[in-house]
Structure 1
């Protein structure tokens, strides 16, 4: 399992609209091949900073499959107008065993 972490800075005053756009886009992620869940976190210290965390079976499910899909295009159409800068994306995996 890979987690995509996208740090997203949005325009001030658009927090509610951005959160509504992500809520509307949630089914697009969940329907994507290899997606195992999505979380959205908002910074307390920087209220226009969010971290979108998407769990994928493999990094290719995100980088190849999802990014080439209509779902990705729709996600960017919904959320993109609120971006103050391009999202910073990285992929991580857990190294702790329960």
Structure 2
């Protein structure tokens, strides 16, 4: 299992709209081949900063399958207007789990 971590800076004052857009886009992630769940975290210290964490079976399920899908286009159409900058995305693999 791979976790995509996207750090997203939202235009200040548009946090609630962004959260609503992510909630609306959630079904597109969950319907995507290889997606095993989604979490959205908001920074306490920097309230316009979020981390979207998506669990994928493989990196390719995110970078090829999902990014090439209509669901990805719909996600970006919903949430993209609230981005203050392009998201910073990386993929991690768990090396220590309880």
Q: Normalising to structure 2: TM-score of the pair?
A: 0.99
Aligned to 1:86: 86
Aligned to 1:45: 45
Unpaired runs of 5+ in structure 2? none
Summarize deviations over 1:5-49 as a string: whole Å, max 9, x none: 000000010000000000000000000000000000000000000
Helix, strand or coil: the match of 2:44?
A: coil
Alignment of 1:6-17 (within 5 A): 6-17=6-17
Aligned to 1:24: 24
Q: Does 1:65 align with 2:83?
A: no
Equivalent residue pairs, number: 98
Q: Normalising to structure 1: TM-score of the pair?
A: 0.99
Helix, strand or coil: the match of 1:13?
A: coil
Aligned to 1:3: 3
Summarize deviations over 1:73-97 as a string: whole Å, max 9, x none: 0000000000000000000010014
